[in-house]
């Protein structure tokens, strides 16, 4: 381990490089290859239902509930972990633990099998927890290794590296899958991609670990009950402040229901495309869905740029209202989509509005915060609200999908969330973010 001073370029670049290492999880496992692989397993047996946990569940409902359960665990442990990260010196050990938990769980998906589905679901569940758990400590390093004037730039560099790295590996996986001569070899190529994600994550994270310090605090300090539960105390403090900060409270309400719908759409889009779109063949389905994910990634960059320009001209709140209107229209139209070309058009729209709403939502929240040095508590509240929203959104989607046998009605319900968000955002003064 190199002992570099705070603000050192090598240290900053090593920290940002962790995005290159771990972003392959979100693209390959959460969005692209694993959802296609999972759907293909059920398609081969011509039955989308399975008896699991004493219930007869549809496959997409099962993965929705499993995802919701993982995010529920993450929403609970995040405040615990953040309290520990703020106090204990060897936060790198915690970060490594969750990194390796996530990476080896990704590798474990190689053995995912319907006939013995419980281990596969456990690997999927633990992979999600490993990814988000490692991010708690990764993000907490930022004020330790970068000065305030450096943080925005190096944070943006991390996101850029993550985008590039994840797309590179996904393209490699796409070439492997397209190069397979038959369906059986295509499935095997997908299994290999899960191992590649875990190996990529572990190998490239070593550069980060080589330069990152153990932590900024005295490692001889002992954990106490007060330290462990400090994160929850901070959340309660923010909740109390929201009673007197009306604009921030209304914004968080709008963000909660909007994010609930946005994150759900992003997590289930591939499953929806695999089940509801009339592809000519299984090969066209596999390649078409991966191309859609790549399209979303590329268009998201343009969406973020256009949203930034729009917010400069018309303000954050009006721009967010307009984006939520677009999301509402998109959900209404998605109910009728059945053809591949329509799905490609839908992916383009998703990319545009997805690329803008996440970045603008976070920056708008920052502008609405009261004058305080304790911004970490407010953003911890923001992150927990986002994760709980995902739990609710995925459960709503899964329940409707299970009861009706089709996710189309769930998409319409998500449109109601966006309409609610529009109503709440309209109650915020337009000049509230003009700091």
Tokens matching residue 138: 């990764």
Helix (H) or strand (E) holding 64: helix 59-85
The pLDDT score that the predictor gives to residue 1 is: 55
Residue 216 pLDDT grade (very low, low, confident, very high; cuts 50, 70, 90): low
User: What pLDDT, on a 0 to 100 scale, did the predictor assign at position 5?
Assistant: 79
Look-up: residue for tokens 């490089």?
17
Helix, strand, coil shares, percent, the chain, to 5 = 80, 0, 15
Tens-digit pLDDT profile for residues 9-68: 899 899 989 999 999 998 899 888 999 999 989 988 888 899 999 999 999 999 999 999
Integer angstrom CA distances of residue 21 from 102, 136, 270, 389, 401? 12, 15, 23, 27, 34
Q: Is 56 helix (H, G, I), strand (E, B) or coil?
A: strand
Percentage of the chain modeled with pLDDT above 90:
31
Q: At 222, is the pLDDT very low, low, confident or very high (cuts 50, 70, 90)?
A: low
Computed over every residue of the chain, the mean pLDDT equals: 85
Q: Report residue 394's pLDDT band, with 50, 70 and 90 as the boundaries.
A: very high
Q: What is the pLDDT of residue 376?
A: 62
Mind listing the domains of the chain with CATH numbers? Answer: 1-217+224-228 (1.20.1250.20), 231-430 (1.20.1250.20)
Read off the pTM: 0.85
Contact (CB, 8 A) for 38 and 30: no
Instruction: Write the pLDDT tens digit of every residue in 265-313.
Output: 888 888 888 888 898 887 788 888 888 888 887 787 777 778 878 888 8
List, for residues 329-386, the tens digit of each pLDDT value: 988 888 899 999 998 888 888 888 876 777 677 677 777 877 765 566 777 788 888 8
3-class DSSP state for residue 302?
A: helix
Q: How far is CA 52 from CA 56, 62, 66, 115, in A?
A: 6, 9, 12, 11
């Amino acid at each position: 381990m190199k002992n570099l001073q705070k603000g050192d370029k090598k240290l900053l670049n090593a920290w940002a490089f962790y995005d290159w290492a771990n972003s392959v999880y979100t693209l390959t496992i959460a969005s692209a290859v694993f959802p296609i692989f999972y759907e293909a397993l059920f398609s081969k047996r011509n039955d989308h239902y399975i008896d699991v946990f004493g219930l007869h569940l549809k496959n997409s409902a099962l993965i929705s509930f499993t995802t919701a359960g993982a995010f529920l665990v993450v929403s609970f442990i995040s405040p615990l972990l953040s309290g520990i990260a703020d106090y204990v010196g060897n936060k790198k050990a915690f970060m490594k633990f969750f990194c390796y938990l996530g990476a080896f769980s990704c590798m474990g998906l190689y053995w995912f099998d319907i006939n013995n589905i419980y281990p596969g679901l456990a690997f999927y569940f633990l992979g999600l927890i490993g990814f988000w758990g490692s991010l708690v400590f990764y993000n907490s390093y930022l004020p330790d290794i970068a000065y305030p004037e450096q943080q925005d730039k190096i944070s943006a560099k991390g996101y850029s590296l993550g985008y590039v790295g994840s797309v590179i590996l996904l393209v490699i996986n796409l070439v492997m899958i397209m190069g397979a001569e038959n369906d059986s070899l295509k499935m095997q190529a997908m299994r290999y991609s899960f191992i590649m994600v875990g190996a990529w994550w572990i190998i490239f994270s070593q550069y980060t670990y080589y330069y990152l310090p153990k932590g900024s605090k005295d490692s001889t300090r002992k954990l106490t009950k007060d330290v462990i539960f400090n994160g929850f105390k901070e959340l309660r403090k923010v909740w109390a402040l929201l009673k007197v900060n009306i604009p921030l409270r209304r914004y968080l309400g709008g963000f909660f229901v909007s994010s609930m719908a946005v994150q759900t759409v992003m997590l289930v889009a591939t499953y929806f495309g695999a089940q509801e779109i009339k592809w000519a063949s299984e090969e066209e389905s596999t390649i078409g869905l991966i191309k859609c994910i790549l399209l979303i990634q590329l268009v998201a960059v343009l969406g973020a740029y256009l949203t930034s320009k729009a917010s400069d001209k018309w303000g954050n709140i009006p721009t967010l209202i307009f984006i939520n209107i677009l999301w509402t229209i998109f959900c209404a139209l998605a109910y009728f989509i059945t053809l591949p070309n329509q799905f490609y058009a839908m992916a383009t729209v998703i990319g545009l509005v997805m690329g803008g709403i996440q970045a603008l939502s976070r920056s708008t929240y920052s502008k609405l915060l009261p004058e305080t040095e304790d911004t970490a508590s407010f953003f911890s509240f923001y992150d927990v609200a986002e994760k709980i929203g995902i739990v609710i959104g995925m459960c709503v989607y899964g329940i409707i999908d299970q009861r009706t046998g089709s996710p189309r009605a769930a998409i319409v319900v998500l449109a109601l969330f966006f309409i609610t968000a529009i109503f709440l955002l309209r109650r915020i003064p337009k000049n509230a973010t003009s700091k």
